[in-house]
Amino acid sequence: MKMNELHCGCCAAALTVHPLTDCLANRMCESLFQHNAEGIMLTDAAAIILRVNQAFSCITGFTAAEVLGKTPAILRSSHHDASFYQQMWAAISTTGSWQGRIWNRRKDNSVYQQWLKITAIYNEQKQITHYLSVFQDLSIVRLHDQQRRKLLTLDNLTGLGNRELLVSRFPQILAQCRALNLMLHVVWIDGGQLTQVNQQHGLKYGDLLIKAQAQTLKAAVSPEQTLVRLYADDYVVLAVSACTDAAVETQLQGFIDGLSQSYLLDDIQVSTTPAIGVARYPLDGDSEELLLQAAETALFHAKKQGGGRVCFYNARQAAASVRRHQIKHLLSAELSAVPSELSLYFQAKVVMQSRKICGAEVLLRWCSAQLGWVSPAEFIAIAEESRLIIHLDRWVINELCRVVQLLPEQRRPLISFNVSARQLSEADFADWLLNCLQRHNLPAAALEMEVTESAFIDNPAQAMQLLSRLRQQGLRIALDDFGTGYSSLVYLKNMPLDTVKIDRSVIFDVTSNYKSQCILKRLHAMLQDLQLAMVVEGVETEVQHQLLHNMGCEVAQGFFYGKPMPVEQFCQLLQGSRLC
Ligand code: C2E
Ligand code: CA
Ligand code: CA
Q: Which amino acid is at 390?
A: I
Q: What does the angle CA 397 – CA 400 – CA 404 come to, to the nearest 5 degrees?
A: 140
CA of 557 to the centre of ligand 3 (A): 10
Report CA(564)–ligand 3 centroid distance (Å): 13
pLDDT category, 6, cuts 50, 70, 90? very low
Say yes or no to pLDDT of 482 above 90. Answer: yes
pLDDT in tens, 34-46: 888 899 999 999 9
Ligand 3 centroid distance, CA of 406 (Å): 26
Going from the Cα of 358 to the center of ligand 2, the distance in angstroms, rounded, reads 16
Domains and CATH numbers, the chain: 5-143 (3.30.450.20), 154-313 (3.30.70.270), 341-576 (3.20.20.450)
Residue 364's closest CA among 392, 340, 337?
392
Share of residues in the chain with pLDDT > 90 (%): 79
56 SS3 class? helix
Q: Is the peptide bond preceding residue 274 cis, with omega within 30 degrees of 0? A: no
> Which atom from ligand 1 is nearest to the alpha carbon of 560?
18
Nearest ligand, CA 415: 2
What pLDDT, in 10s, does the model give residues 347-368? 999 999 999 999 999 999 999 9
Ligand 1, atom 23, lies closest to the CA of: 538
Helical residues (DSSP H) of 440-566, grouped into ranges: 454-457, 460-472, 489-494, 504-507, 514-529, 542-551
Q: What is the pLDDT of residues 61-72, one digit of tens each?
A: 999 999 999 999
pLDDT tens profile 513-567: 999 999 999 999 999 999 999 999 999 999 999 999 999 999 999 999 999 999 9
Please state the rounded mean pLDDT for residues 275-304: 94
The pLDDT tens digits for 434-462 are: 999 999 999 999 999 999 999 998 889 99
Beta bridge partners of 385: none
| pLDDT band, very low/low/confident/very high, at 578 (cuts 50, 70, 90) | low
C-alpha 547 – ligand 3 centre gap (Å): 20
Ligand 1: which residue has its CA nearest to atom 41? 364
Closest CA to 478 of 394, 395, 359: 359
Instruction: Give residues with Cβ within 8 angstroms of 266, minimum separation 6.
Output: 205, 208
pLDDT tens profile 94-128: 999 999 999 999 999 999 999 999 999 999 999 99
Predicted local confidence at residue 459, as pLDDT = 87
Residue count of the chain, please give it.
580
Q: Residue with the nearest Cα to atom 15 of ligand 1?
A: 558
CB 483 within 8 A of CB 491: no
CA distance 539 to 561: 8
Residue 408 is which amino acid? P
Confidence band of 8 (pLDDT split at 50, 70, 90): very low
Distance from the alpha carbon of residue 549 to the mean position of ligand 2, in angstroms: 21
Phi, psi for 418 (deg, rounded to 5): -100, 140
Identify the pLDDT of residue 554.
Answer: 97
Whether 231 has a pLDDT exceeding 50, the answer reads: yes
Q: Which residues are CB-neighbours of 196 under 8 A, at least 6 positions away?
A: 458
Q: What is the DSSP string of 65-123?
A: HHHTTS-GGGGB-SSS-HHHHHHHHHHHHHHSEEEEEEEEE-TTS-EEEEEEEEEEEE-
Residue 19 clears pLDDT 80, i.e. is over it: no
Answer whether residue 13 shows pLDDT above 70: no
Ligand that comes closest to the CA of residue 381: 1
Closest to 574 (Cα-Cα) out of 413, 457, 447, 423: 413
Q: Which atom of ligand 1 is nearest to the CA of 389?
A: 44
Ligand closest to 562 (CA) is 1
232-256 pLDDT, tens digit per residue, is: 999 999 999 876 777 788 889 999 9
Q: What are phi and psi of 133, to 5 degrees?
A: -110, 130
Asked whether residue 5 carries a pLDDT value surpassing 50, the answer given is: no
pLDDT band at 399 (very low <50, low <70, confident <90, very high): very high
For residues 344 and 363, is the Cβ–Cβ distance under 8 A? yes
Number of C-beta neighbours around residue 363 at 10 A: 18
Among 99-113, 311-325, 334-348, 365-379, where is mean pLDDT lowest?
A: 311-325
Relative to the alpha carbon of 482, which ligand is closest? 3
Pocket test for ligand 1, best of 380, 382, 506, 511 (most atoms within 8 A of CB): 380
d(CA 541, CA 510): 11
pLDDT at 10: 40
The whole-number pLDDT of residue 489 equals 93
According to the model, what pLDDT value does residue 55 have? Answer: 92
Q: What's the confidence (pLDDT) of residue 148?
A: 81
Mean pLDDT in residue range 485-502: 94
For ligand 1, atom 42, which residue shows the shortest CA distance?
A: 418
- CA 382–ligand 2 middle distance (angstroms): 17
Q: How many Å is the Cα radius of gyration of the chain?
A: 38
3-class DSSP state of 256: helix
Say whether pLDDT at 576 is over 70: yes
Query: For 419-427, what is the mean pLDDT?
Result: 95
The pLDDT value given to residue 16: 41
Mean pLDDT score of the chain, rounded to an integer? 91
> Is the predicted pLDDT of residue 3 greater than 70, yes or no?
no
Q: What is the pLDDT of residue 407?
A: 87
Distance CA 521, CA 507 (A): 11
Please tell me the distance between residue 263's alpha carbon and the centre of ligand 1 in angstroms: 39
* Cα 345 to middle of ligand 1, angstroms: 10
CA distance between the termini of the chain: 111
| Structure confidence at residue 410 as a pLDDT band (50, 70, 90) | confident
Which of 335, 366, 367, 418 gets mutated to test ligand 1 (max ligand atoms within 8 A of its CB)?
Answer: 418
DSSP 410-446: GG--EEEEE--HHHHT-TTHHHHHHHHHHHTT--GGG
How large is the average pLDDT for residues 74-96? 91
For position 376, what pLDDT does the model report? 97
| Cβ-based neighbour number of residue 415 at 10 Å | 21
* Ligand 1 atom nearest to CA at 423: 44
Nearest atom, ligand 1, residue 540 CA: 18
| Residue 292: strand, helix, or coil | helix
**Ligand in nearest proximity to the CA of 377:** 1
Q: Supply the pTM of this predicted model.
A: 0.62
Ligand nearest to the CA of 483: 3
**Do the Cβ atoms of 17 and 2 come closer than 8 Å?**
no
Residue ranges lining ligand 1, Cβ < 6 Å: 347, 363-364, 375-377, 380, 393, 396, 418-420, 480-481, 504, 538-540, 557-559, 564
**In the prediction, which pLDDT does 577 show?**
59
CA distance 206 to 35: 46
276: β partners = 189, 310
Q: Whose CA is nearest to atom 45 of ligand 1?
A: 418
Residue nearest to atom 22 of ligand 1 (CA): 538
